Structure 1
């Protein structure tokens, strides 16, 4: 069956935070454009955007130590951390504008202090240097540092109770946030459909090919009834998480050649015991194990989902060839092409530490996992915690002139030369930086419209195109304004 209507202006593939963000922007810029969202599952936000499939951290580099690694000469640079925080401020401004306009309920974000916590002399020295690099940065105003057990106990009692005397250190900043990206996605998509966009669930996009007229022909399989469907679109965004690689490969665009994907799965311990949950109100990040991927940085988090608080600890990394939590066992082998097998082999050659780490995680017993929890929370008891399966992440592998191929721990937009189709590959910091990622995509894919769109976007995101960290007064003003609108700690 084919859609006999004129080509759609925009097709968004995947019902996650990326498609919801891009659709919301386009609908405000071009309210006359037709928009359709295709989602394989029966509802949106069921894969990476689901609140139990991610840590919910409003990633602003306040607590994530992997954004400020120690260099070989012992120095610590704040450049990447500042850049990520700048991006998160754009997301906060966008959400704040929608809330002020009455287009987004303020039910998805809550104040949660962001902390770091380390043990051992060398780690304490590192954290001291990290704090020195951040404490005077305007976007990190209010960060506190302590090596005092009593102070850290006041910040997060569960880190200290039952702990023997040893060198420890922590930082805390009270302006951190917990974000329910599932709720945010649902609310954005609801707004889209109320204004005329179409949401088609239980529809799996199988292939994307060029149509004769220069549009994109999208082949869809309805998962209920198993009936086929085709539709043409002028612009396509592939925001299908781990499923994006296959679909971009099906387009035949040159820009996707050489890209591969390395899937990493994860699990978390979760407790809803009110006596335990009441003692910890923070997201506390530690240091990753040697060879561990950045997404495996251990952290003990307050989570607020559907208004109810719980604690998560993890993640415990694992491996599955699936590119989505509900994907196929053939996803990884099916993604191999002549153009990407070289980079993939080069990544395998250069990442034996990661392979060993994943094998050790796969073989880990529950007792071993509990012991790693007890390194953070010495009084933790196994019976209070349930193990839940988190989301599936696909890290980007791509060509590299020097090494043949590299594994990239981040997100990357891949777009055709004419800007008519684009997709997002990769993971962290992902959802928290959806707004700046989609702004870059709009500028890249619609250069002829950007000049007309820019003033409208600036009304939603006042500091777009500028930086805040080099403007202390402006940074304080913007943070205070968005905190007030979103009902957050300022």
Structure 2
């Protein structure tokens, strides 16, 4: 019917709102000392070029702005307006049709800093502790139903054992190997498909200062959804920089640091080999895309950047390696080899272990993911008056949906409360 389906955008927005509410609670209650250290206000812009893309964005804006989550979203095809929003987009641009949408309530989040703050706060609480520079290398179910956890100290090389009644595997690319070592029935058939990432970075002040936004484009035809190109203002350790990417790359490592090229071969099991083989046979465009991306020259990468910033010069940008996303490969209705570009939460039947697989949408919806695990494995805690009250204090919308238009005022009130706590407004 010519209309763009915006259901996924609405779903992800609501999940991010839960994260924002929790961060606001954390700021108000001393779990984090200064929110400005990890979150900054940055407008989010969608930018397109060419008549086909312009028509798509116009239709998408019509669908999104009709919902109260995105009622403040602006749309324009006017070059002077886009020039004000993001000057670099117009620098040296030809007369190809362009369009953009803008939302002023966007953010830039440093999840590394946020994680460090929360973990350090936990370490100060009675009965809590944490260990850095340690790696869990094995998991074994004990006769009493708990888990034997084999840990290696990466600085001394010493190996020791702990026991745990509940284990959560949230180790990024290291999750699949640990899940396989647990031996739980629910892990059978799962595989991992690693995709490396690279970015172009600019630190030149006279260029960086001209761009204060996250600008998203449209993904290339064969690219996974996580490969949507974007030109971002990033604030890293208090300093502004521009990042453009991501560029995907073929790899067999599951971890950027400390990973091995044998990670992918080592993850092959009898129960997932069919899925892994089918990935190659039935996702040839994706494989070709990854190989093409990984063998690009600097000039080719800069050519993609110039779709956003036509005047970009090679000497002002450098290529850096980023992390590795391990996409979950699973069977869907008996069909093996489905690359799932999302997140998968697996829990054992006895609720003693949960694991997070996949990559996208990523850290921005981490609170919603953990809520899913709490509901699955600790539902008895939420059933008490005390547990319900504490969760409502942390995440006021945890047990309700704010999608319906009748919830517009409540959603706006909760969002502004969190933004004030986070010093975003």
Aligned twin of 2:15: 87
- Listed one character per residue, the Cα deviations across residues 253-289 of structure 1 (whole Å, up to 9, x for unaligned) are 0000010000000110111111111100000000111
Confirm or deny that 1:477 pairs with 2:413.
yes
Confirm or deny that 1:193 pairs with 2:123.
yes
Contact 1:259 1:397 in 2 (8 A): yes
Contact 1:346 1:403 in 2 (8 A): no
Aligned twin of 1:227: 158
Q: Normalising to structure 1: TM-score of the pair? A: 0.83
Farther-moved stretch of structure 1 (200-209 vs 396-405): 396-405
Aligned twin of 1:295: 226
Contact 2:212 2:233 in 1 (8 A): yes
CA shift, 1:349, in A, is: 2.0
Q: Normalising to structure 2: TM-score of the pair? A: 0.96
Q: How many residues align?
A: 417
SS state at 2:215 partner: strand
Contact 1:322 1:332 in 2 (8 A): yes
2:278 and 2:73 mapped to 1: Cα distance?
Answer: 41
Q: What residue ranges of structure 2 are gaps of 5+ in the alignment?
A: none
CA shift, 1:401, in A, is: 2.2
- Listed one character per residue, the Cα deviations across residues 439-474 of structure 1 (whole Å, up to 9, x for unaligned) are 110110122222122221111111111122321111
2:124 and 2:158 mapped to 1: Cα distance?
Answer: 27
Aligned twin of 2:271: 339
Contact 2:3 2:63 in 1 (8 A): no
CA shift, 1:362, in A, is: 1.4
SS state at 1:127 partner: helix
Farther-moved stretch of structure 1 (134-143 vs 89-98): 134-143
SS state at 2:255 partner: coil
Q: What residue ranges of structure 1 are gaps of 5+ in the alignment?
A: 1-72
Aligned twin of 2:24: 96
1:332 and 1:250 mapped to 2: Cα distance?
Answer: 15
- Listed one character per residue, the Cα deviations across residues 332-369 of structure 1 (whole Å, up to 9, x for unaligned) are 00111111111222222221111111111111101111
1:98 and 1:400 mapped to 2: Cα distance?
Answer: 38
1:348 and 1:388 mapped to 2: Cα distance?
Answer: 27
Contact 1:344 1:398 in 2 (8 A): no
2:293 and 2:105 mapped to 1: Cα distance?
Answer: 33
Over the residues paired in the alignment, what is the CA RMSD in angstroms? 1.2
Aligned twin of 2:369: 437
Contact 1:343 1:400 in 2 (8 A): no
Aligned twin of 1:459: 393
1:446 and 1:135 mapped to 2: Cα distance?
Answer: 37
Contact 2:195 2:327 in 1 (8 A): yes
CA shift, 1:402, in A, is: 5.4
1:286 and 1:294 mapped to 2: Cα distance?
Answer: 11
Confirm or deny that 1:123 pairs with 2:53.
yes
1:482 and 1:204 mapped to 2: Cα distance?
Answer: 35
CA shift, 1:375, in A, is: 1.1
